[in-house]
Structures are given as C-alpha cells and as structure tokens.
C-alpha cells in the first residue's frame, strides 16, 4: 500500500534502469582495515529519484560503504562517481556535503547541546554565507539570512511533525524523536542524495510506520534519491525500488525487491536465516 505514493516515472526507472543516467556509480570499491576486508569489489548504480536499499547481516560492510560515500573512509580501491563527474572517494566530507549528499547515522550523531532548531539550522550551513564579520555585526545581512533559512527549517519541522520540540535541546529528547531530528537535519540540507543508516532501528512498529511515511513523502516532495540501510525486510521490500545485498563485504545481489527475493545466494546468506 505504501507503493501507491510512487510515481509511474519511478517504476519506469526501476523496470528499465539503463535508460537513465545513474546519479551515483559505486565502482569496484575495496576497503581494508588492517587484515579485515570490510568491502571488496563492491559496485552498483543508484538511479535518480529511487529508493535504493542496502541490506546484509551485521558486519557486512553497509555502514562502511556509506562512510566511503560520505568521504569519511577512504577506500584503497575503486571510485564512487556522483553526477557522473565527481569522484567522492577523492573528496573531503564537507566537500561531498556541498555537492548535495546528506546522511543520518546508525548511532545518532546530533549536536546534543543545541536545540532542535539549531541542529536543523546547521543543516542549512552549506547554503548560508555569512562569515565572522557579518555574523558578529548580525543586524543586516546575517539576520536577513537567518530569517530566510529559518523559513526553510520551519518547513522541514512541519514535514516531520516536530513543531512541539523545536526549542528543546536534542540531548533531552526520546530516541525516536532524535532519529527524526537527525533526518530533519539531513533534509534541511535540501540534498540531492540522502543516505539513511538504519533510520528505523530500535523503533516500535508504529514509529517505524511513521518513519517510512516520512521517508516516502519526502522522497516524493523533494524529488530525492535515497540510499537506505534497513534490517526490517518488510519495510525494505515495501518501500524500496532497488535492493543491493552485501555479505562479508561482497555484493551478492542487486536488483528490484522481487529479483532479490528470488536470488538464491541472497536467500542462503541472509533472508533464509533471519526470516
């Protein structure tokens, strides 16, 4: 039933992906930590305005892959092309962010002492300009900018239904709300590509439902491409357009949810065991 919110254009993309240029091409990524091969030879494409899931058992390398995309980890091998021209593996995290790549973390990484509003305003950082001098003077350019971006942030707050907590310090919020604020901070960046690392982990089914609804609404409203790591198979098969499966750092499946469900290697490695 959740699939109703997807446009026919998107289903065209998923049935015939080769027809469009991928927004991101992960190519032959190899990442080692000492003797541990966290990722080896991982490659797949992410297509515009799709929800791309990454699944796999714990320790499969899912978070490591997101970290490579974000520029936090430097893979020893391979490249990640964004928009066909930028190799993210050669860039610093803040440069990747400026290209329009936003993310949330598996273990919430918010600015704990700041209010929800300030966290979301930090999401606007790349779109704002004021420096030390105009900020120190404040009245004039900086204030104008604050107001303008506050407007955008309020829109995100409405979208995520967190109006009631906007002035609260995030450290004081319940886990589920913190997850939502972290999603909000990523959305405030108005990204082209949104990376979500287990956004529903640790939530009850009602909260999961809410989160899935937010993700779908946002994808629709902002024409976003989403890379989603998620353990809940029901959710993954329901909302994603394509699924990549990792196991021990290797890609063992990549395709539509139905294709992946029928893939024997995937069934053996993952689906069979957990469900």
Ligand X SMILES: Nc1ncnc2c1ncn2[C@@H]1O[C@H](COP(=O)(O)OP(=O)(O)O)[C@@H](O)[C@H]1O
Stretch that binds other proteins, among 13-21, 107-115, 214-222, 259-267 (CB under 8 A): 107-115
Measured distance CA(57)–CA(146) in Å, rounded: 43
In the complex, the smallest distance separating the C-beta of residue 69 from ligand X, rounded to whole angstroms, is 12
Our finding on whether 168 is near other proteins (CB under 8 A) is no
- Kind and range of the H or E run holding 220: helix 205-222
Among 26, 42, 55, 61, binds ligand X (CB under 6 A): 61
* Partners of 251 in the β-ladder: 246
Q: What number of chain residues touch Mg ion (CB under 5 A)?
A: 2
**For residue 231, what are its two tokens?**
């353990």
- Cα 171–Cα 172–Cα 178 angle in degrees, nearest 5: 65
Shortest separation between residue 112's beta carbon and other proteins, angstroms: 6
Stretch of 40-48, 149-157, 242-250, 266-274 contacting other proteins, by CB under 8 A: 149-157
Residue 169 is a binding residue for other proteins (CB under 8 A): no
* 93 belongs to the binding site for other proteins (CB under 8 A): yes
Which DSSP state fits 114?
Answer: S
By CB under 8 A, is residue 177 in contact with other proteins? no
At 264, list the tokens: 């024997």
Beta bridge pairs of residue 193:
101, 225
Which of 109, 114, 140, 146 lies closest to 127 in space, CA to CA? 146
Choice between 57 and 176, CB closer to ligand X? 57
Binding region for other proteins (CB under 8 A) out of 8-16, 38-46, 74-82, 128-136? 128-136
| Closer to Mg ion by Cβ: residue 63 or 240 | 63
For 131, phi then psi, to 5°, come to -105, -160
- Rounded to 5 degrees, φ, ψ at 236 are -60, -50
Q: Which of 2, 15, 21, 36 binds ligand X (CB under 6 A)?
A: 36
Residues at the interface with ligand X (CB under 6 A): 33, 36, 38, 56, 58-64
């Amino acid at each position: 039933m959740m699939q109703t919110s997807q446009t026919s254009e998107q289903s065209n993309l998923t049935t015939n992906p080769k027809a469009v240029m991928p927004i991101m091409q992960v190519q032959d990524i190899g990442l080692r930590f000492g003797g541990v091969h966290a990722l080896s030879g991982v490659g797949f494409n992410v297509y515009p305005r799709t929800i791309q899931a990454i699944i796999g058992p714990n320790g499969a390398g899912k978070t490591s892959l997101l970290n490579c995309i974000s520029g936090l980890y430097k893979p020893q091998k391979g490249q990640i092309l964004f928009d066909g021209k930028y190799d993210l593996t050669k860039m610093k995290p803040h440069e990747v962010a400026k290209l329009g790549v936003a993310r949330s973390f598996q273990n919430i990484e918010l600015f704990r002492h700041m209010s929800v509003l300030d966290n979301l305003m930090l999401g606007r950082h790349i779109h704002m300009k004021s420096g030390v001098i105009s900020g120190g003077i404040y009245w004039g350019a900086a204030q104008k900018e604050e107001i303008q971006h506050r407007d955008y942030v309020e829109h995100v707050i409405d979208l995520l239904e967190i109006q009631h907590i906007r002035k609260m310090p995030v450290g004081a919020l319940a886990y589920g709300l913190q997850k939502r604020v972290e999603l909000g901070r990523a959305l405030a960046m108005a990204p082209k590509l949104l990376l979500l690392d287990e956004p529903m982990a640790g939530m009850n089914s009602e909260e999961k439902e809410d989160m899935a609804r937010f993700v779908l609404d946002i994808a629709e409203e902002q024409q976003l491409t989403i890379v989603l790591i998620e353990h809940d198979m029901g959710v993954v098969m329901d909302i994603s357009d394509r699924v990549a499966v990792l196991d021990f750092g290797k890609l063992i499946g990549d395709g539509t949810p139905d294709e992946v469900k029928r893939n024997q290697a995937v069934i053996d490695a993952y689906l069979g065991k957990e469900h």
